[in-house]
């Protein structure tokens, strides 16, 4: 049994001035389950490569853990799985409230598994920062898919910040790919920066919308429409069919006025219905068309490489950030300086410089 | 004469892995002009408050300087001007290539000065990172406005990075407001992150477009359309009038589909012509309508406060960034780690952690 407990500090990253890292009580209870029998790195890696989803689950729990003693083992498992990763189609899925995202994922997912696809469904839920509730926590919302042998569903990880949640999801994605999953969904709710995080780790970004005059966009933060490679108007069934098609045409027109994406791909719009099981094969066709297009023009690989690089720098920046903003001396002074800036007593720039000078002095005295 | 040369290091901030700070040769030559007669802080501040534009110019040159010996004096001038700042309308202006931005600024600017407005025109030109060329460098493009007693035009500052350029522009804005300018334009070219920088220091954001089917948006980075409070289609004169109006209607329809801005303001569209002098008063009316709207609903002040806070944190983050990425040891290793990540030999996360551990060791040994 591998008992390498060498790491000094919790692997926790924070965005700016948020709460200090918390230890996830779920991690502690899962750890206790492990205590009898924590698999070794070899057992994890071999299990994952043999497509053993129980071992995959345990490995994801391990890398999601905030406990210092899990860090080294978790990172070793990831390192060894890395050469086996990369061979899946990574699809980000978000939607306006009411679009029926879970139902869509279940129906669309079932269509893929029926074709023999092995599908993993991960999630980034910003509200799980506080270690409670996750969009996939209630698996009964996707009962059929949960029971499907070709599907693997995982709730959003918890962490002290969105950065932490995103990083753990990306690490889990690597493990899922090593375990042989062909398609990986990363789901999030349309509330803000989580879309940017998802967008930075997927190949294709799908936005689910509902029909209507435009009001429903109130729930989506600006900038997300421009990330989408495909907009799908859901619930295009029964009396709503015509309205859904009208909305589709309007959105298609609006998309024409957004600047072109770097990939060269012109985003498309479709309607679909999970209830009537329509439009779903068309969505899959568009995804494949996108993949062929971006592989042919080189963007697919270029984007993957850029995302790897991005995550290295994102993580470095998170560490720099955290080291400063979590320092007790600095934390104690931030509010004072903020108030001075807000009441025009101190310029933003002088305040920043003074705080930074305090920090470098602390570094020298080795008080960081 | 104030000779406080106490600062240890150049006030230079860099975004990520860019070139090291360079000393601006223009700053050196301007410094030499100063050497006989560098005004004191009192002289600067009193001159500015008396609306002496020569002294304002010198003060802006001082704060734009990268030379360490200018830092303390520059910051003192800013601090003392700060209580007198804030009383202007800050308008960001960007546009697609070919929209006739300079001509627009001149014509629109002349309209304002003719009404008795005192107008300052600043610029953020990302290409001036390398200390050459600036969008307002060639002042002959706005001859009439340059000669106008109520107008003050300043080229973009130079700096080692966009962050540096933006910071100096914001500092200059404070000085211009203390000097009593009623309206301040901050111009930029539509090429990327400079719009975000401008958007973070203005009250209102104007996007200039040309008529056409949508192709012209190719020149604008995604996300900028969503920042705009007003879209103005230029060159609506002669044979182009109908086409301009058609474009306006299309853009207005497209804007309807973008999610609502936090201000609660629904962006408008207008056409205008600098040549025929039409549409300009309408643009000014919309700006005033926006100001009344956002002052009434509290967004105006809330936004100003948030921007001040933003600049404090932006500057801190720039310092943290710079301190890490400009460290010679780190700089020397970055490419190696990047390559390891790009060839899947090392996970993004492990690479980041290793680099950060190297950095903290250097800090302890006081080698930063």
**Domain limits, chain A:** 37-84, 86-297, 310-367
Over pLDDT 70: what percentage of chain B?
A: 81
Which of B174, B212, B347, B363 is the best residue to mutate to test the A interface, defined by the most A CB atoms within 10 Å of its own CB? B347
Asked whether the beta carbons of residue B319 and residue A353 sit closer than 8 angstroms, the reply is yes
Complex confidence, ipTM: 0.72
pLDDT digits (tens, 9 = 90+) for A37-53: 899 999 999 999 999 99
For residue B2, the model assigns a pLDDT of 29
Say whether A24 sits in a helix, a strand or coil: coil
Residues B35 and B76: beta-carbon distance below 8 Å: no
φ, ψ at A86 (rounded to 5°): 100, -15
For residue B85, the model assigns a pLDDT of 93
For residue B256, the model assigns a pLDDT of 79
Higher pLDDT: B31 or A90? It is A90
Residues A100 and A214: beta-carbon distance below 8 Å: no
B284 to chain A nearest CA, in Å? 25
Q: What topology does CATH give the domain A37-84?
A: 1.20.5
Which of A201, A249, A257 is the best residue to mutate to test the B interface, defined by the most B CB atoms within 10 Å of its own CB? A257
Higher pLDDT: A9 or A91? It is A91
A292 has a pLDDT exceeding 90: yes
SS (H, E, C) chain B: CCCCCCCCCCCCCCCCCCCCCCCCHHHHHHHHHHHCCCCCHHHHHHHHHCCCHHHHHHHHHHHHCCCHHHHHHHHHHHHHHHHHCCCCEEEEEEECCCCCHHHHHHHHHHHHHHCCCCEEEEEECHHHHHCCCCCCCCHHHHHHHHHCCCEEECCCCCCCCHHHHHHHHHHHHHHHHHCCCCEEEEEECCCCHHHHHHHCCCCEEEEEECCCCCHHHHHCCCCCHHHCCEEEECCCCHHHHHHHHHHHHHHHHHHHCCCCCCCCCCCEEEECECCCCECHHHHHHHHHHHHHHHHHCCHHHHHHHHHHHHHHHHHHHHHHHHHHHCCHHHHHHHHHHHHHHHCCCCCHHHHHHHHHHHHHHHHHCCCC
Task: Please tell me the distance from the alpha carbon of residue A75 to that of residue A7, in angstroms, as a whole number.
Answer: 11
Which of B221, B259, B338 is the best residue to mutate to test the A interface, defined by the most A CB atoms within 10 Å of its own CB? B259
Which range (A133-147, A259-273, B122-136, B175-189) has the least confidence?
Answer: B122-136
Cα R_g (chain A), whole angstroms: 22
What's the rounded mean pLDDT across residues B87-98?
Answer: 92
Which range (A102-111, A136-145, B65-74, B130-139) has the least confidence?
Answer: B130-139
| Confidence category of residue B7, pLDDT binned at 50, 70, 90 | very low
**CATH level 2 (architecture), domain B86-297:** 3-Layer(aba) Sandwich (3.40)
| Confidence category of residue B162, pLDDT binned at 50, 70, 90 | confident
For residue B165, the model assigns a pLDDT of 84
B173 has a pLDDT exceeding 90: yes
A91 has a pLDDT exceeding 60: yes
B147 to chain A nearest CA, in Å? 32
| Confidence category of residue A309, pLDDT binned at 50, 70, 90 | very high
Higher pLDDT: B20 or A336? It is A336
B90 has a pLDDT exceeding 90: yes
pTM value surpassing 0.90: no
What's the rounded mean pLDDT across residues B201-215?
Answer: 86
A214 has a pLDDT exceeding 50: yes
For residue A284, the model assigns a pLDDT of 98
For residue A16, the model assigns a pLDDT of 36
For residue A280, the model assigns a pLDDT of 97
Q: What topology does CATH give the domain A310-367?
A: Helix Hairpins (1.10.287)
Which range (A75-79, A108-112, A211-215, B352-356) has the least confidence?
Answer: A211-215
For residue A122, the model assigns a pLDDT of 95
Candidates A83, A217, A363; nearest CB to B257: A217
Inter-residue long-range contacts of B323-328, CB under 8 Å, 24+ positions, other chains counted: B323/A360, B323/B368, B324/A316, B324/A320, B324/B359, B325/B14, B325/B16, B325/B17, B326/B14, B326/B20, B326/B21, B327/B359, B327/B362, B327/B368
Contacts of A16 in chain B (CB under 8 A): 313
Asked whether the beta carbons of residue B341 and residue A257 sit closer than 8 angstroms, the reply is no
Task: Please tell me the distance from the alpha carbon of residue A35 to that of residue B174, in angstroms, as a whole number.
Answer: 60
pLDDT digits (tens, 9 = 90+) for B289-313: 999 999 999 999 999 999 999 999 9
| Confidence category of residue B367, pLDDT binned at 50, 70, 90 | low
pLDDT digits (tens, 9 = 90+) for A116-175: 999 999 998 866 544 444 445 455 568 888 889 999 999 888 876 777 788 889 999 999
| Confidence category of residue B19, pLDDT binned at 50, 70, 90 | very low
Higher pLDDT: B220 or B320? It is B320
- List, in sequence order, the alpha helices (H) in A11-96: 25-35, 41-49, 53-64, 68-81
Residues B242 and B203: beta-carbon distance below 8 Å: no
């Amino acid at each position: 049994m591998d008992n390498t407990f060498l790491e000094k500090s919790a692997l926790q990253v924070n965005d700016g001035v948020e709460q200090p890292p918390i230890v996830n009580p779920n991690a502690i209870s899962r750890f206790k389950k492990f205590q009898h029998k924590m698999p070794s790195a070899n057992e994890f890696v071999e299990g994952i490569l043999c497509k053993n989803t129980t071992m995959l689950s345990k490995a994801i729990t391990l890398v999601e853990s905030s406990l210092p003693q899990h860090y080294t083992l978790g990172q070793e498992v990831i390192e060894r799985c890395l050469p086996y990763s990369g061979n899946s189609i990574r699809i980000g899925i978000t939607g306006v409230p009411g679009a029926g995202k879970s139902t869509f994922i279940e129906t669309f997912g079932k269509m893929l598994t029926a074709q023999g696809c092995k599908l993993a469904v991960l999630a980034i839920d910003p509200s799980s920062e506080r270690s409670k509730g996750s969009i996939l926590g209630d698996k009964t919302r996707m009962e059929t898919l949960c029971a499907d042998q070709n599907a693997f569903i995982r709730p959003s990880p918890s962490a002290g910040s969105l950065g932490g949640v995103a990083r753990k999801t990306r690490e889990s994605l690597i493990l899922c790919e090593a375990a042989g999953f062909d398609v990986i969904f990363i789901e999030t709710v349309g509330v803000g920066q989580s879309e940017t995080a998802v967008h930075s780790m997927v190949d294709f970004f799908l936005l689910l919308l509902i029909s209507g005059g435009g009001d429903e966009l109130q729930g989506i933060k600006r900038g997300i429409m421009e990330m989408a490679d495909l907009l799908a108007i859901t619930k295009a069934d029964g009396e709503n069919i015509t309205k859904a098609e009208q909305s589709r045409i309007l959105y298609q027109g609006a998309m024409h006025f957004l600047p072109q994406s770097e990939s060269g791909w012109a985003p498309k719009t479709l309607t679909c219905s999970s209830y009537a099981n329509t439009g779903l094969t068309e969505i899959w066709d568009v995804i494949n068309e996108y993949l062929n297009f971006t592989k042919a023009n080189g963007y697919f690989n270029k984007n993957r490489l850029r995302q790897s690089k991005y995550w290295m720098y994102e993580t470095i920046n998170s560490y720099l950030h955290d080291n400063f903003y979590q320092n007790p001396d600095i934390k104690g002074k931030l509010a004072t300086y903020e108030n001075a800036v807000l009441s025009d007593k101190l310029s933003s720039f002088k305040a920043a410089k003074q705080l930074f000078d305090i920090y470098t002095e602390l570094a020298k005295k080795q008080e960081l």
